[in-house]
Structure 1
Amino acid sequence: MDSLVQKSVVALLSNRPETVDAGPFVIGWDPTSDSRFISYATPRPDAVITPDDVTALVAAFRNINRVPRLEYVTSCAPDLEKHLLDAGFTIEARHQYLVCSPDTLTVPVTPAGFGIIEPTSDEERAGGLAAQNEAFGGELTATPADVARVRRTQERGGVVLVARADDGTYVGGGQASPPGAGLSEVAGIGVRETFRRRGVAGALTAAITELAFTRGIEAAWLEAGGEDSWRVYERIGYVPMGERLYIALD
């Protein structure tokens, strides 16, 4: 599973608006955003990587004016972490990822008072994005570039769903990436604080995963941001698997 997840990350980055092939690495980046979480690199599974490759990778990031940063499954490049640390990179986080298959998925009933929709207009996309932004500590707004990014995800076969209260208030959202190596990454699950602990996050994650399965993927994977979200994901059928590393040169 580690190799498949890593291949799916390579495919995900290859779907960015711009890509850079840097030896054994692929950099996926978006000229409309300087977010370090959107533009980053990952190694191709089982590639032989040398310190010179890391030096060239840093130079490639400097050429596009982005922070050198990687996300990857550690077992797929066992020597890479040492090369990066020797080059001055620092570890941001180390997370275990979870995987769900059609056989393990449990879809709960959507909580009373809420609905989950697939946005078909930019107004609906912006509403879901604004709720997600607030859920992650930002402002209750969404930029045109953010909306375009979500629309592009849908156009390329990814899944985007939005949660709304019955009065029309947008309360959260999330997505699954376009399929890669038969997998999709479920990410960005966010529910505004006022509406948490009502089952919305679990229902939203399960609905996104189920829709991705109906569109042909073999498995979905994600990472939990804390113990609360970990429990939510395990309840709907996600099972802990391998380790991913986040590392950057600031």
Structure 2
Amino acid sequence: MNMLPLLRQELECFFAGLSFYTRIPTPAWVKYKPENLNKSRKYLALIGVFVGSVGALVLLSLSFVLPSSVSILLSMVATVYITGAFHEDGFADSCDGFGGGWEKAQVLSIMKDSRMGSYGVVGLLLLFGLKFLVLWELFQVNLSLVLITLVLAHAVSRLMASVVMQYFAYVSHIETSKSHQVASLRLSNKNMLLSALPIFIILAFSLDWRYFVALLMSLLVAGVLGQYFKKRIGGYTGDCLGAVQQVTEVGFCVMVLMLAN
């Protein structure tokens, strides 16, 4: 059996997802196919490992020449830049929508508004502040702890967004949404398990039970958020997925910090 066509197809799916969720351009040899974007969901955790590794590498490199606080802040800047604040934007829109809207139509309308409201601004300020403080506290405990936590937090949180896509309904209008190609199909159970493989590999090598507990907590938080979205608007939108990613990312770090103290 010739494995090269299969390998090429999987690489095309991976790069389709990488270019969608980050600023990394697609290689010239990769042909754009709409179906590849949906299939790229199984690589969300791997994309998270990539983004988290960039942040961890920046933090590690700068920690030798700069104070820990500055190194952490610049690490956060690096991950925001490489993703184009893709998930942070969804988080802010979700804060505005659910904070300022009552009925489903009103919530969805506010989310679609390109202007940021007070709920979004306050939400981002609190989110970034909490991220910074938690990473700084983890740094004081152990450098390797904060580096591994950073990588896992980005990977696990993106997997949690995929979990919400898998088990809840998509409610945005197809013609106006940029996320419908990702959310239009569900993955097989096999691919869902395979998508978590990068996380399990890191957990196996780290041999730290705190990460496993934080993973379980992230699943719980993702489920609660999914149920909340279902109750309020009947399901999730692309902005909701950004909120899931951001909340579970910082939640993962908070849980590791709680268990480290």
TM-score by length of structure 2 reads 0.25
